[in-house]
Amino acid sequence: MTTAERQRSAQELIRPQLPSELTKRDGCPFDPASGLTELSGQGRIHRIEHNGETVWLVTGHEEARAVLAEPRMSSDRINSPRARKLISPELHAELFPPQRRAGSFIFMDAPEHTRFRRLLTGQFTVRRMRDLTPRVHEIVTAQLDAMIEKGPPADLVHDFALPVPSLVICELLGVDYGDRDEFQRRTAKLLSLTTTIEEQIKVNTDLGLFMRSLVRDKQKKPGDDLLSGLVRDTDLNTDELTGIANLLLIAGHETTANMLALGTFALLEHPDEFAKLREHPELAENAVEELLRYLSIISMGVSRHAKEDVTIGGATIRAGETVVVSVPAVNRDESQYDNPHELHVDRPRGHHVAFGHGIHQCLGQQLARVEMTVAFTELLRRLPTLKLAVPADEVPLRTDMSIYGVHELPVTW
């Protein structure tokens, strides 16, 4: 492979590519691309031809749930026909060596996936997540105290949205919070849409060494954290524990951090909804579900490939073809929600797919719900006059990242 080829964006290799009119946000920062909204009105599953590739794009709610629950649809995009076509065997071995793939259960199918999922489900119980609520309150309160003491203006991302879930996941996994700058910087590099293959290999290697050192410490001296529980109570080997820890650490802070920041931005731009939630904090759990539906930070979609011919929504998807579930479009399906393009914090709770569906549904969703419920409640209670410190169109959006949100959110009060 030439130097130019190795300098390609790594995301081009592992994520199906769609036309920019279906992915580029070109209006309200909280809405999907206008082209995607228009396409959704023309049907529920669409055959897209782009750059010589065929991709099935799902925009209907029921069709999305069918794809995500279908065992003939594979989550293993690393070994998908598309990846094998685009990546030479030599580069594939360099990008995805066995020790790096170990434990990365979100890219596995049953029965391999089932083994890891079963072991982790025992750690992510609803009761355990609920028991963490007092500690989440302490973390949220401490971050707000520090932000208020420093005084306005503040960057809500740096001062609140990022540290809250980072502190929670570090405590849950038993990671030293002093190491947060290291893993946050590397995580951001992995999630950037402009990260080259060369950079991804280096970042993956460095992050793997960091997590392996943590695992070995837990093996020598386990504590009361989740990772120590996996060391103590399972037969997972060091590679598998490293992969799981890496996956949970990245997923545990990036997604929630972006929901907190983008969710606050959305509430500030919808003052009636902000006031409604501030005056009725009992709506917080409902508001979290509505923000998850309305914002859909997994804006690139969730991809699968057919292991054999499958018919979904009247369309026959051939073996080897790629399917992308467009989460932003699905969560605004007009047949599922009344006025889906409007934000209503008191909207009756629906079956959004922000956390996925089926056997790969997000393992940490209950923890994310607890964090967001506490964070939004306390933020609005402590800072009832919160407002943007810059015009809305000057807020820098994460259009260059695979997880959508804002890079900064300047606020005052």
Contact call for residues 282 and 297 (beta carbons, < 8 A): no
Query: pTM for the whole thing?
Result: 0.94
Distance CA 220, CA 369 (A): 33
Can you give the pLDDT at residue 9?
65
Q: Give the pLDDT of the chain (413 residues) as one tens digit per residue.
A: 555 556 566 666 667 778 989 998 888 999 999 999 999 999 999 999 988 889 999 999 999 999 999 999 999 988 888 888 878 888 888 888 888 889 899 999 999 999 999 988 877 877 777 788 999 999 999 999 999 999 999 999 999 999 999 999 988 888 888 887 777 888 888 888 888 888 888 888 888 898 999 999 999 999 988 899 999 988 899 999 999 999 988 888 899 999 999 999 999 999 999 999 999 999 999 999 999 999 999 988 999 999 999 999 999 999 999 999 999 999 999 999 999 999 999 999 889 999 999 999 999 999 999 999 999 999 999 999 999 999 999 999 999 998 999 999 999 99
The residue assigned the tokens 């070994």 is 79
End-to-end CA distance of the chain: 54
Can you give the pLDDT at residue 3?
58
State how beta strands 154-155 and 410-412 pair.
Answer: antiparallel
Can you give the pLDDT at residue 157?
97
Can you give the pLDDT at residue 13?
66
| H helix or E strand, kind and range, residue 325 | strand 322-325
Can you give the pLDDT at residue 357?
96
State how beta strands 154-155 and 53-58 pair.
Answer: unpaired
Q: What is the 3-state secondary structure (H, E, C) of 326-377?
A: CHHHHCCCCCCCCCCCCCCCCCCCCCCCCCCCHHHCCCCHHHHHHHHHHHHH
Strands ordered across the beta sheet of 154-155: 154-155, 410-412, 387-388
Distances (CA, A) of 219 to 16, 81, 95, 125, 234: 38, 38, 27, 23, 12
Distance CA 242, CA 237 (A): 9
Q: Which of 187, 186, 200 is nearest to 11 (CA)?
A: 200
Structure token digits, residue 210: 């960091």
